[in-house]
Homo-oligomer: A and B are copies of this chain.
Amino acid sequence: VDTNLTRIRIKDIAELAGVSPGTVDRVLHDRGEVSAATRKKILGIINDMDYHPDILASTLANKKEFRIAALIPQEKYNNPFWKYPLKGIEEGLLETSHFGLSVDKYLFDYFDRRSFIDKSGEMFKNKPKGVILAPVFTEDAAIVIEKCSNEGIPVVLINANICNGSCLAFVGQDSLQSGMVAARLMHYGLDRSSDILIVNFIRENGNQEHILKREEGFRKFYSAFPEYHESRLRQLNIIENDISDYPGILKEAVLASPRTGGIFVTNSRVFRVAEFLESSGSLNFRLIGYDLLEENKKYLKSGIIDFLISQKPREQGYKSILSLYHHLILKKSVEKNQYLPIDIITRENLGHYTFT
């Protein structure tokens, strides 16, 4: 057997072990019907020869399908963020679909818990080989994760990490750290006499953990600057599914302290604040928020928003499908916490982020 010339094959292992290729295959895939002795011998040789199967040949002979389920919010006029993970998934499929991977989309309504439950039920009926999950409704998502864990279905969480250990991976941002980045940018550009307002747009019974973490990170940064005591770092919570008078609320909050010079919005609703600032002609604020929504980009370009922090939603999709590919097909280990870089976006580098 010429070991050094070419790659070693199942056939070579079989010859060395004095068995047929079929038996080696049985051992390789742990599908039983092999005597303990034979098994041990074959495993020894595989190990000695450092044999690795050719996945191309394997996939070709297998004709197996790997239907992945994407259980994420539907893109909507009021939530355009969610089209990007889907784009990333499509892109990842370009590299992996040859191996039998495909994606079924179960898109639920971001504001409707019931629809999440329905879609997840539908999904389980179709017995997916892997799941990409955005845990928007924390408790219900936890149930899905539990169920997948019981059925041996690997789950990749995106955007928010509620994993207790039974997930294949999490792909998303380190929220606390991203709050610190926001604070750095604020501090770098704000004169020391100005106060800061932190605005949280909050949704009832939705997952707020990342919002809280961002605020926590922001405050953590400022804890190194004692002059920014509690009263100079005020906080405003606005309930979102209220038919709220945003301008009114904001006006009151900003007027409450005329020394407010910087505003940090802990999620993508920063355009609401930008809207208010523009219409009230108050252009002398440092304004920092999240995500490249069209409205946010508009205000970034016009200079009302100073910085946006991107959660790289496209990359979340891309990495999640590739993680499942590595796990299911290549049978390689997958990094558990895949924190994406915390991207800082200005007018000037926005152009090269178009597809992110």
| Residues of chain A whose beta carbon lies under 8 Å from any beta carbon of chain B | 54-57, 59-60, 95, 98-99, 174, 177-178, 180-181, 183-185, 188-189, 221, 306, 339-344, 346-349, 351-353, 356
Contacts and interface: CB of A to CB of B under 8 A. Distances in A.
Given A95-B95, A98-B55, A341-B353, A348 B60 contact: no
A352 B342 contact: yes
A177 B353 contact: no
Contact of A98 (B54, B185, B306, B347): B54
A193 B339 CA distance: 40
Which DSSP category, helix, strand, loop or mixed, fits chain A's interface? helix
Given A60-B60, A98-B55, A306 B188 contact: yes
A170 to B, nearest CB: 13
Given A56-B60, A56-B98, A188-B306, 13 more contacts: A95-B95, A177-B348, A177-B351, A180-B348, A181-B346, A184-B347, A185-B346, A189-B189, A341-B343, A341-B352, A341-B356, A342-B352, A343-B344
A330 to B, nearest CB: 9
Contacts of A188: 188-189, 306
13 contacts: A56-B59, A56-B60, A57-B60, A95-B95, A183-B348, A184-B347, A185-B346, A188-B306, A339-B352, A342-B348, A342-B349, A342-B352, A343-B344
